[in-house]
Structure formats: structure tokens, C-alpha cells
Amino acid sequence: MFLILSKLLAFTITPLVWIIVLTFFSLFSKDRNRKKKCLRWALGLALFFSNQFIFDECSRLWEIPASRFENLKTYDAAILLGGMSVYDADLDRAQFFRGVDRLIQTVELYKRRLVKKIIFTGGSGRLLHPEMKEGNYINRYLLDMGVPEKDFVMESESQNTHENAMFTKVLLDRQNIKGNFLLVTSAFHMRRSIACFRKAGIAAEPFSTDRFAGPRKYEFDHLFIPDSSILYAWDFLLKEYVGFITYKIVGYA
């Protein structure tokens, strides 16, 4: 039920949905003043949520900063969060998204001998295909990247960040894995993730990947030219804002 509600909530907070609804009202409302108001709001939201500079600044306030490799100590394990791919049954391989940076940087941490082991946590967060568990096929890519099977552990039952933390805690206790851990996930997702893992009793340090906020820029196109791709990026950020507050309310973080 929590998974279904979270999917519905994620849909309703999407800026594009707000813009479409307001545009719809402006087209079909019989009240002339209401038509104008809705159209103005739709245009205003479209300009606001497609502005690259505004999005960058909001991301910068929210994201946990990334760490330099040279500033890290050696960790007993990197806990790698899923949510970076789906399985393509036709091609019999994973189709990766932006979050694949989590996997690539975790392997680099391992290659640099900054982590001794990789613990992957991620099942299926999909409503229609719960059998497509991410952990079941990510192990193939870890092997292909040169990580021996003895140096990684897979958890493939979790469906959300709360379960990532709880099921990882069970796995650590069951296999008696102890030491200091590095938590690896996207920068926009780190604030909620680290709170969940610490709530579950796992004292991990954050290692943020695939940041939205890069160096601050004051270039004309960045400041003033609308970018439709930013509308999609806001989905991630708003989901984390609401997700963090919800997790705090229900006691997950």
C-alpha cells in the first residue's frame, strides 16, 4: 500500500501535471477571469520550473556535497543503493539510467582500494513487475567490471529506501559484517538515504554521485533560456523533498 501511495504522490507533485491541469482549466473554464488566472499561473510555472539557474540553486541547497577520493579513508564496505536500471527482457540485459553513476563510482572506489567489499541493495520498485529485481542482474555487471564474487553481497528484496536500510541491516547482522561503511547513492537522494540508514542502526558516511548542481554559472542561456529537460529533473528533487518529510512523519528517517 505504501508503494502505491508513494507512486500516486510522485505523480501529483510533478510540475508538468500542474501546468497541464492549469492549461486545461484555462481552455475550458467559462469564467473569463479564471481563464486568465489559470493561463498566467501555467505560464509562470512553466518558466519557473524550466529555468536552469533556479533548479541548480535549489539542488545545491538540498544535495549532500560529493567527496574527493583523496579525502577518503579506507572503508570495510560500500553500500550501493539501486534504482539505476530496469531489466530489458528482449535483449536480456539491464537498461541503465542517470543513476548508473552510483555503480561506476562504487567500482572505482573498489579499484582504488578505498572499499574492501560492495553491498548492493535494491529489488523492484515497480508496481506491475515485482519479479524484476535489480539485485538479480547487477551482479553480472560487477563481475564484468572486475569485482570478484567474494567481494560483493546482493540484497534484492527491498522496494524503497526504508527497506534498503532495514534489509541491509538484516543482511549485515546475518553475515556478521562489521566495520565502517560508505553509503553510495545520488546526491539528491542522499539526505533521505543517510537518515534511513542511521535510523536502522547503520553508521555510514555519505558518498554522493551524479550531482545535479555543478559549478555556479551566470551565463545568459543558463539564467534566462528555458530548458524543457529541467521540468523532468524537478520530478527527482520534489519527490525527495516530499519523501524526506513523509519518512520523518512515519518514523522511517
User: Residue 49: what pLDDT?
Assistant: 97
Cell of 200: 536502522
- The CA-atom distances, in angstroms, between 81 and each of 32, 51, 190, 222, 231 are 50, 29, 10, 31, 25
Contact 207, 182 (CB under 8 A): yes
pLDDT at 127 over 60: no
Q: Convert the pLDDT of each residue in 38-59 to its tens digit.
A: 999 999 999 999 999 999 999 9
Find the angle CA(237)-CA(238)-CA(241) to the nearest 5 degrees: 90
Mean pLDDT lowest for which of 9-18, 27-36, 221-230? 9-18
Average pLDDT, integer, range 176-193: 96
What integer pLDDT is reported at residue 130 of this predicted model? 65
Choice between 197 and 98, residue whose per-residue pLDDT is larger: 197
pLDDT average, residue stretch 145-166: 94
- Virtual torsion, Cα 68, 71, 74, 77, nearest 10 deg: -40
Instruction: Measure the CA–CA gap between 96 and 133, rounded to whole angstroms.
Output: 14
C-alpha cell at 173: 547482522
Q: For the chain, list the domains and their CATH numbers.
A: 2-63+221-250 (no CATH), 69-209 (3.40.50.620)
99 or 125, which is more confident = 99
- Asked if pLDDT for residue 137 goes beyond 70, the answer is yes
pLDDT of residue 42: 96
pLDDT for 7: 61
Per-residue pLDDT, 74: 96
Q: In this predicted model, what pLDDT tens digit does every residue of 65-95 receive, in sequence order? A: 999 999 999 999 999 999 998 888 888 888 8
**Which pLDDT does position 201 carry in this prediction?**
96
pLDDT exceeds cutoff 80 at 3:
no
Give me the pLDDT at residue 64, please. 96
pLDDT the model gives residue 135:
85
Answer yes or no: are the C-beta atoms of 191 and 171 closer than 8 Å. no
Q: What is the pLDDT of residue 30?
A: 86
Q: How confident is the prediction for the chain on average, in pLDDT?
A: 91
Percent of the residues in the chain that have a pLDDT greater than 70, as a whole number? 93
Q: Which pLDDT band holds residue 125 (cuts at 50, 70, 90)? A: low
